[in-house]
Amino acid sequence: MTDVLQQIPAVVDRLRAAFGSGRTKPLSWRREQLAALRAMLTEQEDAFAEALFADLAKNAAEAKRTEIHFVVREIDHTLENLDAWLAPEDAELPERLLPGRGTVVREPLGVVLVIGPWNYPLQLVLAPLVGALAAGNAGVLKPSELAPATTAAIARFVPQYLDQEAVAVVEGAIPETTALLEQQFDYIFYTGNGVVGRIVMTAAAKHLTPVALELGGKSPVVVDAEVDPVVTAQRLVEAKFLNAGQTCVAPDYVLAIGDAGGKLEAALADAVRAKFGDDPSDSPVYGRIVNHRHFDRLSTLLASGRVVVGGQTDREHKYIAPTVLADVSPESPVMGEEIFGPILPIISVPSLDAAIEFITARDKPLALYAFTESEPTKDRILAETSSGAVGFGLPVVHLGVPSLPFGGVGESGMGRYHGKYSIDTFSHLKAVLDKPLA
């Protein structure tokens, strides 16, 4: 890795020279790179799926749906709309400046750094790259060392398909990331946890580099007593146990109003068995914990409540069964941190007032979900809570809608991307005023 550390300044200099030459600015280059990225994902689909299985035991269907095809859809949406998104926008001028014209022009920022996480190691590196390329930037990708097979695949294929003068991949761990952060970039896009997010932001401040921090947090689910527990449980199981719970917008805990918790318990147990069978360790659609450190952390949380379903573990194979806990105290260990694993606690609250008070007393989450048919309840949740996103009746899926912005607020992050929001994130919106001389 010493060679990699020594090469990092030269890599950044090469990309900066490419950007300075104007190479990345033409619309034709941007479209070519996006098309090449799409070709990489489709032509090497099986190789990426195998890498994702090696890192996370992610089955091929899930890998393609949530990682490979996810980015392909993002590319297609961007290519379809890119001309309109990049067109100068007219701005209304005050009467005293007429005749004249005001416009907003988007220009690329320069050289950007994308630091990805391990839980969706392909999607969360390449989806930001879509916006960076579409906006006309050069970029360095730093995939996660905790997903070594996927990182190796990215490092292998990106240079084969994309412009090597403008896009680079740096492999490695903390020393390499630290060395990258010592360089001057024009934008840094980080996905991960708040601890590292603060390190990234501190390093960026030395160069006054703007950042996007896509973090996480404990995303709550409010369930009122009137909803169908079977449908609610099925949708919670699909969302919570995707990628063995290792999803930044996964439902973290349930706030069950009134007797909703009792109704949910049996329905959740049935939904887990319907999805993964009587022994989820044999299920071809259930993944594994990324490493033993996270396995050990999660295992200690299982004693935080009464096990409704699941609870089984196998350290050798990094397996933790899809688990639902009831009778959970707000002060229990499972409520003290983002779970980021296949454990779903249920906390009973007496009313919507109590649920809202519970949520607002804590850090602002990346997502907030609610199962309710009451429009006044929805209105109150929207008006009285703050979160990166809100999903009524369907958790997690908003992440895959390219026309919706994705990002956090407060402790769950800053900045947003997907679709047009990626273009704005990776562009400078330049104000232009043109006043005739006569």
* Confidence (pTM): 0.96
Whether residues 80 and 120 share a domain: the answer is yes
The model's confidence at residue 2, banded by pLDDT at 50, 70 and 90, is low
What is the rounded average pLDDT for all residues in the chain?
97
CATH of residue 389:
3.40.309.10
Whether residues 340 and 309 share a domain: the answer is yes
Whether residues 29 and 155 share a domain: the answer is yes
State whether residue 401 is helix, strand or coil: coil
Tell me how far apart the alpha carbons of residues 296 and 318 are, in angstroms, rounded to a whole number: 9
Q: Which domain holds residue 175?
A: 2-215+408-434
pLDDT digit string, tens, across residues 5-22: 989 999 999 999 999 999
Tell me how far apart the alpha carbons of residues 277 and 234 are, in angstroms, rounded to a whole number: 14
Return all residues near 221 (Cβ < 8 A) that are at least 6 apart. Answer: 236, 251, 252, 253, 254, 255, 369, 370, 371, 395
Whether residues 81 and 189 share a domain: the answer is yes
Whether residues 35 and 83 share a domain: the answer is yes
Q: In this prediction, what percent of the chain has a pLDDT beyond 90?
A: 98
pLDDT digit string, tens, across residues 328-344: 999 999 999 999 999 99
Give the model's pLDDT for residue 438. 83
The tally of domains found in the chain comes to 2
State whether residue 37 is helix, strand or coil: helix
74, 214, 338, 411: the active-site residue: 214
Residue 399 has pLDDT above 80, yes or no: yes
Whether residues 260 and 372 share a domain: the answer is yes
Residue 97 has pLDDT above 60, yes or no: yes
Cα distances (Å, whole numbers) of residue 405 to 264, 398, 414, 417: 31, 9, 12, 6
| Residues counted in the chain | 438
Whether residues 111 and 147 share a domain: the answer is yes
Exposure b/e, 90-124, CB count within 10 A at least 16 = b: eeeeeeeeeeeebeeebebbbbbbbbbbbbbbbbb
Give the model's pLDDT for residue 428. 98
Residue 318 has pLDDT above 60, yes or no: yes
CA 85 from centroid of its chain's CA atoms: 23
For the question of residue 411 being annotated catalytic, the response is no
Whether residues 73 and 191 share a domain: the answer is yes
Nearest to 217 by CA among 232, 236, 187, 197: 197
Whether residues 297 and 177 share a domain: the answer is no
Give the model's pLDDT for residue 3. 82
pLDDT digit string, tens, across residues 401-420: 999 999 999 999 999 999 99
Whether residues 291 and 376 share a domain: the answer is yes
Q: What is the pLDDT averaged over residues 257-263?
A: 95
pLDDT digit string, tens, across residues 264-286: 999 999 999 999 999 999 999 99
Whether residues 387 and 412 share a domain: the answer is no
Whether residues 162 and 235 share a domain: the answer is no
Tell me which residue has tokens 């005739």. 436
pLDDT digit string, tens, across residues 107-149: 999 999 999 999 999 999 999 999 999 999 999 999 999 999 9
With beta carbons less than 8 A apart as the criterion, state whether 128 and 417 touch.
Answer: yes
Return all residues near 337 (Cβ < 8 A) that are at least 6 apart. Answer: 218
For the question of residue 214 being annotated catalytic, the response is yes
62, 74, 248, 265: the active-site residue: 248
The model's confidence at residue 4, banded by pLDDT at 50, 70 and 90, is confident
